[in-house]
């Protein structure tokens, strides 16, 4: 299985199903995206659009047995140069990759850290596991890692417990934990959403610095478009479980092709326009993600929808490094 | 400001707990809000924004200071005499899930407000509940549903309808859109602007999102560790900030524009614990231009123009640079 | 509740088979208690020494006890006292416990006093306290109920207080206060509705405990006068013969387990029905 992909991670037409009491649901049904080494790709979309499910599927962390990958590929290029499909990789192999080559940072650092172990012990454990270091040298490495993520007094703070730290510090510990084995891919699921802006800025700058130094690829999940503009090289937009548009951050913000992308950008308070009565109003998207028919998922809320939009499924059209899932984008843009 | 203010707060202070664990949540805060005006309260978590809102509504008792609502001092009134305040000032909460009782139908959630002040009974009550739902853009038929049958944005609308039920003059909106997606956030912000105009509402708009505050507010107060750092018209505070913290906050907020300059200047360190706030200027542990003087004395609010004040020993706009900087 | 919505409520509640089965079992036990004189094949108190400790047979379906009394008949009659005591204890401790729990949780000024009494009562082992109380009050069914209620009320207070402390801080309670809703309504609607589920769960436990504790009291001779059959006294007095005649303790034991279990399942069903989120799914 050696496919020639220049990307580090290449997700192709991913579909994920969950078994629930009300029958099967498909929260992800057409995700195509790629991350190259040294690149930051932002995955954006409204709550419930399937961002986290996509990242969990990539890490092989879908809740079992309810969730499963039911279609598509998740190709990952290992350090050895070999490309594997994470969707079908046996669990032991996947476990070996996790932490060693792919690492993840979650939104709530408190729940992903063990409350009864010091942060140093937790990092040391991961280092021991993946790098085979002894106890003392692993602890030393842990202190180095805390230093790397700019935690002041790292030597002293390896002995602290998670609850003794602020939210921002805990997120730094999570990042240190993720970085401890030099991953080539970092998946960050809303790592700054729970933080204050000044702390968020620190974490964003930190992630960017580490990425430059280590040269890893980053898949950065967020719903904050400001953060996207700040950190991303490329952006992938999701709506109702599908990727609807991908492009470089500059092009996507300047000339969005998908009506959802442009509507989303116009929702930003900073893009409010002055109405005729002198008030500044933001545009909004009417309604909410409801039941998805067989046509374009955005059709019920799309200002540009025509009958043809609801006829059948809309394919992701790729052209150079941009892709868009809309029948009428050329007409609309013209 | 020509009209006499609807709300005047002076020297407002709130401490929680006792000495070893005393939390100085709000410290000597003062501001006024004119009728029809929207004052924004911005600041990071723990800066005391919600506490101020709850104090103004007298949901908690102030440690000291006065709160004058419509000319009357309500800061020491016992609960029994707050009926008029409850009728005239209302709150919209951040969490659209926790702020509606999951066991009650929408009809009872909104109807409760009408009952408490005997505003409408019998058939008129149902009619009025329907009107209120339609005012916030929900069909009247939804009144028999339970909160969990609504999306976050719709719940927030129900919360707004509940607040409007008593026809208040003042609404305290405590991060009303923080829990919502951008597209839903836009709907709720527009709704609040419509209602403001329609009912001539006065608002205290609490948020940590500067973009949202800039959109919604006439004036802004910037809080840090329970104190006001800067207060003034939105334009002054956002375009001509005078306090180092306001500047840092503006610089740290990511702009949704890939061509905008990236975050470069950054505050280092963490927000200190409100249990042990720094001496002197509370911002000094993170201030890029702090001096020894800043540790010694608390900077008082000083004027930076008409209706624009900031609390810093140094006025950068007038070349008062500290020697150390 | 109107007729139709009551029907709907019951239909939804019984959509789950287990709840329906448990409900039927519970009804059967109660019917048995009510109609004991007509159902019981023998007099529960008739002593026939020649037939002592006989295994289940054609004549005595569930065997006989150490005095040759018919076990089935004693179980049927025992249901009256056991269920009666259990239900009475549940009723009293729930009512009193909920009331004080709400007050302790909501009014900080009352919390100290109420919780000091609760802690004092809970510091003693349940059974010891019950024995002491019955000894002081005198042995009668009424006093057993009183004593067990005093023993279990503090548990209810604890549960209700803990939930109240959480719920009173939730924004919807704050919203109600901001609206000027009366404290009485906040307590009786906003908080009570939301503490109902943990209290219901607690009720089913207390019922089971009360039936067992009554047995314990009887065993120690501090319970209901022995001529009155209860499931507890049956086990208590039969215990020393358990190795030669298992049926003496097995069947009254099964009766206790069956009653407690079915009550618990019905309680769970009721709790789920009270939760509007789950109600739809049922
Ligand atoms: N374990 C699960 N079982 C069933 N459905 C699930 C499960 N986990 C997630 N889902 C559903 O999958 C959909 C996508 O969820 P996901 O968590 O990926 O959203 P998201 O884009 O990360 O949203 P958010 O911004 O809120 O984190 C949701 O509709 C959710 O209800
Ligand atoms: N009931 C309370 N008891 C003790 N401390 C409290 C209480 N309420 C608030 N505080 C403390 O007071 C400080 C200010 O809290 P407040 O909720 O007003 O902050 P905020 O600005 O609204 O923050 P956020 O953005 O997180 O909502 C915090 O340090 C908080 O921990
Ligand atoms: S396919 Fe049609 S409905 Fe869908 S986004 Fe394009 S124009 Fe709108
Ligand atoms: S008073 Fe000093 S520490 Fe405070 S903001 Fe001004 S310069 Fe900074
Ligand atoms: Mg998510
Ligand atoms: Mg708050």
Residue A45 Cβ inside 6 Å of ligand 1? The answer reads: yes
Ligand 1 geometric centre to CA of B135 (Å): 32
Contact check, Cβ <8 Å, B59/C179: no
Contact check, Cβ <8 Å, B266/A199: no
Interatomic CA distance for residues B188 and A264, integer angstroms: 15
Show the DSSP H helices in C35-140 as ranges.
36-39, 71-106, 108-123, 126-137
Report CA-CA distances (Å) from B211 to A272, B139, B227, B249, C26.
Answer: 10, 31, 21, 11, 61
Tell me the ligand closest to A324's alpha carbon.
3
A2 touches chain B (CB under 8 A): no
Domain annotation covers residue C17: no
8 Å CB contact between C47 and C68: yes
| Backbone angles phi and psi of A14, in degrees to 5 | -70, 135
Ligand 2 geometric centre to CA of B5 (Å): 27
Tokens of B167: 């026809």
Most confident stretch, A6-10, B130-134, C60-64, C132-136: B130-134
Task: Name the burial class of residue B140, with classes exposed (0-12), middle (13-18) and buried (19+) by CB atoms within 10 angstroms of its CB.
Answer: middle
Residue A161 Cβ inside 6 Å of ligand 1? The answer reads: no
Tokens of B319: 């070349």
C170 touches chain B (CB under 8 A): yes
* Ligand 4 atom at minimal distance to the Cα of residue B244: 5
Domains contained in chain C, number = 1
Q: Which of B191, B222, B254 to mutate to test the interface with A (most CBs of A within 10 A)?
A: B254
Convert the pLDDT of each residue in A12-26 to its tens digit: 999 999 988 778 889
What stretches of A21-158 adopt beta strand conformation (E)? 23-35, 40-44, 67-77, 83-85, 102-105
Q: Which of A166, A169, A201 sits opposite B263 (nearest CB)?
A: A201
Tokens of C208: 């089971």
Domain annotation covers residue C40: no
Close Cβ partners of C243 (under 8 Å, ≥ 6 residues apart): none
Element at A16 (helix H, strand E): strand A9-20
Q: Give the pLDDT of residue A272.
A: 83
Q: Which of A151, A160, A195, A201 to mutate to test the interface with B (most CBs of B within 10 A)?
A: A201
Task: Name the burial class of residue A193, with classes exposed (0-12), middle (13-18) and buried (19+) by CB atoms within 10 angstroms of its CB.
Answer: middle
Touching B: which chains, 3+ CB pairs < 8 A?
A: A, C
Close Cβ partners of A129 (under 8 Å, ≥ 6 residues apart): A99
Over residues A144-163, the mean pLDDT reads 86
Q: Which of C175, C180, C185 sits opposite B99 (nearest CB)?
A: C175
Q: Angle formed by the axes of helices A197-214 and B244-252, to 10°?
A: 50
A194 touches chain B (CB under 8 A): no
8 Å CB contact between C225 and C73: no
Tokens of A256: 């969005």
Which residue's CA is the nearest one to ligand 2's atom 31? B46
Tokens of A236: 């992938």
Interatomic CA distance for residues C145 and C233, integer angstroms: 15
pTM of the complete model: 0.86
Which residue's CA is the nearest one to ligand 1's atom 9? A53
Determine the residue of chain B that is closest to A198 in CA distance: B252
Tokens of C158: 């604890």
Which positions in chain C touch B54 (Cβ < 8 Å)?
174
Contact check, Cβ <8 Å, C277/B57: no
What dihedral do alpha carbons C161, C165, C167, C170 form, nearest 10°? Answer: 170
Which positions in chain A touch B207 (Cβ < 8 Å)?
none
Residue C183 pLDDT grade (very low, low, confident, very high; cuts 50, 70, 90): very high
Ligand 4 geometric centre to CA of B269 (Å): 15
Q: What average pLDDT does the structure give for chain C?
A: 85
Residue of C22, C92, C100, C46 whose CA lies nearest to C272: C22
Show the DSSP H helices in B165-308 as ranges.
182-199, 210-216, 234-239, 244-252, 292-296
Tokens of A226: 């400001």
**B73 DSSP β-pair partners:** B68
Determine the residue of chain A that is closest to B191 in CA distance: A281
**Domain of C231, in residue numbers:** 65-279
Show the DSSP H helices in chain C as ranges.
3-13, 17-34, 36-39, 71-106, 108-123, 126-137, 141-167, 171-179, 183-185, 192-219, 231-238, 247-274, 276-281
Quote the distance between the C-alpha of residue A25 and its chain's center: 21
Residue of A198, A272, A250, A191 whose CA lies nearest to B251: A198
A190 touches chain B (CB under 8 A): no
Chain B and chain C share a number of CB contacts under 8 A equal to: 73
A229 touches chain B (CB under 8 A): yes
**B123 Cα to chain A: minimum distance (Å):** 31
Query: What is residue A244's three-state secondary structure?
Result: strand
Residue A182 pLDDT grade (very low, low, confident, very high; cuts 50, 70, 90): confident
8 Å CB contact between A124 and A177: no
Interatomic CA distance for residues A194 and A190, integer angstroms: 8
Q: Give the pLDDT of residue C117.
A: 92
Domain annotation covers residue C30: no
Task: Give all domains of chain B, ordered by start, each with its CATH number.
Answer: 7-318 (3.40.50.300)
* pLDDT at A87 exceeding the cut of 70: yes
Contact check, Cβ <8 Å, B54/C179: no
Which residue's CA is the nearest one to ligand 1's atom 12? A27
What secondary structure letter does DSSP report for C187? I
Convert the pLDDT of each residue in A186-200 to its tens digit: 999 998 888 888 889
* pLDDT at C198 exceeding the cut of 90: no
**Candidate from B44, B46, B178, B271 with most ligand 2 atoms within 8 A of CB, to mutate:** B46
Residue of C282, C197, C199 whose CA lies nearest to C10: C282
> Residues in chain A, how many?
334
Determine the residue of chain B that is closest to C182 in CA distance: B116
CATH of the domain at C239: 1.10.3720.10
Q: Give the pLDDT of residue A110.
A: 64
Q: What angle do CA C66, C224, C214 make, to 5 degrees?
A: 90
Ligand 5 geometric centre to CA of B254 (Å): 20
Domain annotation covers residue C56: no
**Helices and strands, counts by H and E, chain A:** 12, 14
Which residue's CA is the nearest one to ligand 2's atom 16? B48
Over residues A258-270, the mean pLDDT reads 93
Q: Give me the percent of chain A exceeding a pLDDT of 70.
A: 97
**In chain B, which residues have pLDDT < 70?**
1-3, 264, 319, 321-325
Q: Give the pLDDT of residue A242.
A: 94
Q: What share of chain A is helix, strand, coil (3-state, %, to 5)?
A: 35, 25, 40
What stretches of A128-199 adopt beta strand conformation (E)? 185-189
Q: Give the pLDDT of residue C280.
A: 56
Residue C18 pLDDT grade (very low, low, confident, very high; cuts 50, 70, 90): confident
Close Cβ partners of C137 (under 8 Å, ≥ 6 residues apart): C143, C146, C147
Cis peptide before A67 (omega within 30 of 0): no
Sign of the Cα pseudo-torsion (C235, C238, C243, C246, in order): negative
Convert the pLDDT of each residue in A231-262 to its tens digit: 999 999 999 999 999 999 999 999 999 999 99
Q: Which of B181, B255, B269 sits opposite A270 (nearest CB)?
A: B255
Domain annotation covers residue C27: no
How many CB atoms are closer than 10 A to CB A182?
14
Residue B156 Cβ inside 6 Å of ligand 2? The answer reads: no
Q: What angle do CA B321, B299, B30 make, to 5 degrees?
A: 135
What stretches of A45-148 adopt beta strand conformation (E)? 67-77, 83-85, 102-105
Q: Give the pLDDT of residue C7.
A: 74
Interatomic CA distance for residues C77 and C46, integer angstroms: 13
**Candidate from B286, B288, B291 with most ligand 4 atoms within 8 A of CB, to mutate:** B291
Element at B41 (helix H, strand E): strand B38-42
Q: Give the pLDDT of residue C67.
A: 82
Contact check, Cβ <8 Å, B253/A285: no
Report CA-CA distances (Å) from A104 to A39, A62, A95, A171, A221.
Answer: 16, 14, 13, 12, 11
Ligand 2 geometric centre to CA of C168 (Å): 16
Report CA-CA distances (Å) from A326 to A302, A312, A317.
Answer: 11, 12, 8
End-to-end CA distance of chain B: 37
Contact check, Cβ <8 Å, A205/B259: no
Interatomic CA distance for residues C63 and C56, integer angstroms: 4
Q: Which of A172, A230, A249, A280 to mutate to test the interface with B (most CBs of B within 10 A)?
A: A230
8 Å CB contact between A269 and B212: yes
Domain annotation covers residue C21: no
Q: Give the pLDDT of residue B323.
A: 56
Q: Give the pLDDT of residue C244.
A: 86
* pLDDT at C88 exceeding the cut of 50: yes
8 Å CB contact between A253 and B255: no
Q: Which of B45, B256, B271 sits opposite A268 (nearest CB)?
A: B256
Q: Which of C170, C180, C280 sits opposite B86 (nearest CB)?
A: C180
Q: Render the burial of A225-237: b for 16+ CB within 10 Å, e for the rest.
A: bbbbbbbbbbbbb
Q: What average pLDDT does the structure give for chain A?
A: 88
* pLDDT at A3 exceeding the cut of 50: no
- Please determine, for the modelled complex, whether the ipTM score is greater than 0.90: no
**Candidate from B242, B287, B295 with most ligand 4 atoms within 8 A of CB, to mutate:** B287
Contact check, Cβ <8 Å, B103/C178: no
Determine the residue of chain C that is closest to B145 in CA distance: C276
Which residue's CA is the nearest one to ligand 1's atom 7? A18
A250 touches chain B (CB under 8 A): yes
User: Side by side, which strands form the sheet with B308-310?
Assistant: B89-92, B170-174, B202-207, B38-42, B219-224, B227-233, B308-310, B302-303
Which residue's CA is the nearest one to ligand 1's atom 4? A18
8 Å CB contact between B89 and B168: yes
Interatomic CA distance for residues B185 and A124, integer angstroms: 43
> Residues in chain C, how many?
282
Contact check, Cβ <8 Å, B103/C276: yes
Contact check, Cβ <8 Å, B103/C177: no
Interatomic CA distance for residues C99 and C160, integer angstroms: 9
Over residues C15-43, the mean pLDDT reads 87
Query: Which of B50 and C10 is assigned the larger pLDDT?
Result: B50
Residue of B252, B178, B212 whose CA lies nearest to A223: B178
Tokens of C57: 């047979």
Domain annotation covers residue C72: yes
**A68 Cα to chain B: minimum distance (Å):** 27
Sign of the Cα pseudo-torsion (C159, C161, C165, C171, in order): positive
Domain annotation covers residue C188: yes
Touching A: which chains, 3+ CB pairs < 8 A?
A: B
Q: Angle formed by the axes of helices B152-164 and B122-135, to 10°?
A: 130
Sign of the Cα pseudo-torsion (C204, C210, C215, C220, in order): positive
């Amino acid at each position: 299985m050696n496919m020639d992909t220049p990307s580090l991670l290449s997700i192709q037409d991913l579909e994920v199903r969950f078994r629930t009491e009300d029958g099967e649901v498909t929260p992800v049904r057409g995700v195509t995206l790629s991350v190259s080494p040294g690149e930051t790709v932002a995955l954006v979309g409204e709550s419930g659009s399937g961002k986290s499910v996509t990242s969990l599927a990539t890490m092989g962390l879908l809740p079992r047995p309810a969730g499963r990958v039911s279609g598509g590929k998740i190709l990952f290029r290992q350090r050895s140069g070999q490309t594997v499909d994470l969707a079908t990789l046996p669990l032991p192999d996947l476990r070996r990759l996790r932490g060693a080559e792919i690492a993840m940072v979650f939104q709530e650092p408190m729940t992903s850290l063990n409350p009864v172990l010091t942060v140093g012990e937790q990092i040391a454990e991961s280092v021991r596991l993946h790098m085979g270091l002894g106890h003392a040298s692993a602890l030393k490495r842990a202190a180095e890692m805390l230093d790397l993520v700019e935690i002041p007094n790292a030597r002293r703070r390896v002995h602290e417990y998670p609850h003794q730290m602020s939210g921002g510090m805990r997120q730094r510990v999570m990042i240190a934990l993720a970085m401890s084995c030099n991953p080539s891919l970092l998946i960050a699921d809303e790592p700054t959403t729970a933080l204050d802006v000044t702390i968020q800025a620190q974490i964003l700058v930190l992630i960017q610095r580490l990425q430059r130094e280590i040269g890893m690829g980053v898949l950065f999940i967020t719903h904050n478009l400001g953060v996207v503009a700040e950190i991303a090289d490329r952006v992938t937009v999701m709506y109702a479980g599908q990727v609807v548009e991908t492009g470089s951050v500059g092009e996507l913000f300047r000339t969005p092709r998908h009506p959802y992308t442009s509507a989303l950008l116009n929702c930003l308070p900073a893009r409010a326009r002055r109405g005729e009565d002198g008030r500044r109003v933001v545009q909004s998207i009417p309604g909410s993600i409801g039941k998805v028919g067989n046509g374009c998922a955005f059709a019920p809320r799309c200002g540009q929808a025509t009958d043809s939009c609801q006829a059948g499924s809309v394919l992701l059209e790729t052209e150079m490094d941009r892709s868009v899932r809309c029948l009428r984008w050329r007409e609309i843009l013209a | 400001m020509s009209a006499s203010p609807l709300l005047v707060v002076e020297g407002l202070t709130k401490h929680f707990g006792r000495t070893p664990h005393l939390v100085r949540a709000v410290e000597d805060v003062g501001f006024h809000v004119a009728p029809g005006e929207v004052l924004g309260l911005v600041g990071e978590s723990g800066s005391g924004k919600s506490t101020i809102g709850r104090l103004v509504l007298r949901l908690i008792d102030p440690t000291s200071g006065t709160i004058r609502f419509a000319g009357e001092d309500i800061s020491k009134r016992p609960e029994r005499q707050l009926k008029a305040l409850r009728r005239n000032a209302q709150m919209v909460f951040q969490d659209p899930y926790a702020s509606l009782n999951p066991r009650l139908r929408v009809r009872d959630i909104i109807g409760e407000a009408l009952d408490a002040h005997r505003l409408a009974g019998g058939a008129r009550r149902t009619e009025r509940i329907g009107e209120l739902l339609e005012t916030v853009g929900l069909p009247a038929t939804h009144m028999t549903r339970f909160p969990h049958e609504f999306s976050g944005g719709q719940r927030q609308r129900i919360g707004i309808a509940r607040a409007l039920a008593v026809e208040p003059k003042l609404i305290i909106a405590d991060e009303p859109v923080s829990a919502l997606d951008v597209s839903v956030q836009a709907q709720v912000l527009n709704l609040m602007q419509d209602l403001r105009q329609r009912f001539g509402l006065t608002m205290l708009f609490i948020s940590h999102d500067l973009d949202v505050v800039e959109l919604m507010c006439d004036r802004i107060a910037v809080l840090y560790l329970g104190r006001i750092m800067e207060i003034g018209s939105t334009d002054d505070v956002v375009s001509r900030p005078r306090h180092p913290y306001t500047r840092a906050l503006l610089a740290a907020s990511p702009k949704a524009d890939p061509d905008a300059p990236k975050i470069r200047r950054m505050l280092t360190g963490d927000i200190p614990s409100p249990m042990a706030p720094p001496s002197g200027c509370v911002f000094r542990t993170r201030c890029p231009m702090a001096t020894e003087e800043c540790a010694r004395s608390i900077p008082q609010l000083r004027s930076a123009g008409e209706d624009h004040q900031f609390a810093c020993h140094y006025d950068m706009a007038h070349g008062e640079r500290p020697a150390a900087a | 509740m109107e007729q139709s919505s009551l029907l709907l409520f019951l239909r939804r509640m019984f959509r789950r088979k287990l709840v329906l089965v448990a409900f039927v079992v519970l009804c059967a036990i109660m019917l048995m208690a009510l109609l004991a004189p007509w159902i019981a094949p023998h007099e529960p108190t008739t002593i026939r020494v020649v037939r002592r400790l006989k295994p289940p047979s054609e004549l005595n379906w569930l065997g006989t006890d150490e005095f040759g009394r018919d076990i089935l008949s004693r179980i049927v009659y025992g249901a009256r006292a056991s269920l009666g005591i259990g239900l009475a204890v549940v009723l009293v401790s729930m009512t009193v416990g909920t009331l004080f729990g709400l007050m302790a949780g909501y009014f900080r000024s009352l919390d100290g006093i109420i919780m000091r009494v609760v802690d004092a009562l809970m510091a003693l082992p349940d059974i010891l306290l019950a024995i002491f109380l019955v000894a002081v009050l005198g042995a009668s069914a009424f006093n057993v109920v009183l004593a067990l209620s005093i023993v279990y009320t503090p548990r209810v207070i604890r549960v209700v207080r803990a939930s109240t402390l959480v719920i009173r801080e939730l924004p919807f309670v704050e919203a109600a206060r901001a609206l000027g809703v009366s404290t009485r309504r906040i307590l009786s609607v906003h908080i009570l509705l939301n503490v109902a589920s943990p209290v219901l769960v607690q009720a089913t436990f207390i019922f089971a405990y009360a039936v067992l504790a009554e047995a314990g009291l009887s065993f120690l001779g501090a319970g209901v006068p022995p001529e009155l059959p209860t499931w507890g006294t049956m086990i208590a007095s039969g215990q020393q013969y358990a190795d030669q005649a298992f049926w003496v303790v097995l069947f009254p034991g099964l009766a206790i387990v069956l009653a407690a279990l079915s009550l618990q399942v019905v309680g769970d069903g009721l709790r789920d029905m009270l939760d509007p989120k789950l109600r739809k799914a049922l």
